[in-house]
Amino acid sequence: MRDLSRANGRFLATVVRYLCDAGIRQFLDIGTGLPAPDNTHEVAQRAARDAARIVYVDYDPIVLAHARALLTSGEAGATEYIDSDLRDTQTILGATAKLLDFTKPMAVTLISILHAIPDGDDPHAIVVRLLGAVPSGSYLAISHMGPSCGARSAANPNVTGHPAPEHRRPTRRGAGTGVVPRRTR
């Protein structure tokens, strides 16, 4: 589990640096998690010389209790925290519009969260709603646990506190969303 978490953290940092290099200065980070080294705003503000704006979203009261650590920023940037469920995209998008400019491209990051949304809540539709709100030129970054992420979590659905990732069936419904896959390196 610790290896998974470290690999995920490295992936997030790589993605954020890549997006800053691509000119992105606005991030909507949903499924924030507890503050850790190299949170999204720290990586982005280092890479973009402070001029990055980040909105964090999570629904966990423990994350909320630590959110102050995420609300630091250089003068040219800004960070905000929204206490909301990913499934409530209307609330998220409404609150995000107070800090991020929806006329300019942004990155939506769903790092290690979508496996917590059961098929019955239609994660595909959630992603489509988010992408429908952001302007052309925006980016979507996803990391998603799968069956190869460790026998322990497969055997024990409570290891992650969420349903086992195996509940997600492979799907190609992403086709037709306009998303163009890119490699970060």
Ligand X SMILES: C[S@@+](CC[C@H](N)C(=O)[O-])C[C@H]1O[C@@H](n2cnc3c(N)ncnc32)[C@H](O)[C@@H]1O
Q: Per rule CB under 6 A, is residue 59 in the interface with ligand X?
A: yes
Q: Per rule CB under 6 A, is residue 111 in the interface with ligand X?
A: yes
Cβ atoms of 81 and 67 closer than 8 Å: yes
- Give the 3-state secondary structure percentages of the chain, helix then strand then coil, rounded to 5: 40, 15, 50
Q: Per rule CB under 6 A, is residue 8 in the interface with ligand X?
A: yes
Q: Per rule CB under 6 A, is residue 166 in the interface with ligand X?
A: no
Q: Per rule CB under 6 A, is residue 116 in the interface with ligand X?
A: yes
Give the total of residues touching ligand X (CB under 6 A).
18
Q: Per rule CB under 6 A, is residue 83 in the interface with ligand X?
A: no
Q: Per rule CB under 6 A, is residue 129 in the interface with ligand X?
A: no
Residue 14 CB neighbours (<10 A): 14
- Which one, 16 or 78, has the nearer CB to ligand X? 16
Of 112, 128, 133, 138, the residue at the interface with ligand X (CB under 6 A) is 112
Cβ atoms of 129 and 28 closer than 8 Å: no
Strands 53-58 and 78-83: what pairing? parallel
Binding site for ligand X (CB under 6 A): 8-9, 12, 31-33, 58-60, 63, 85-87, 111-113, 116-117
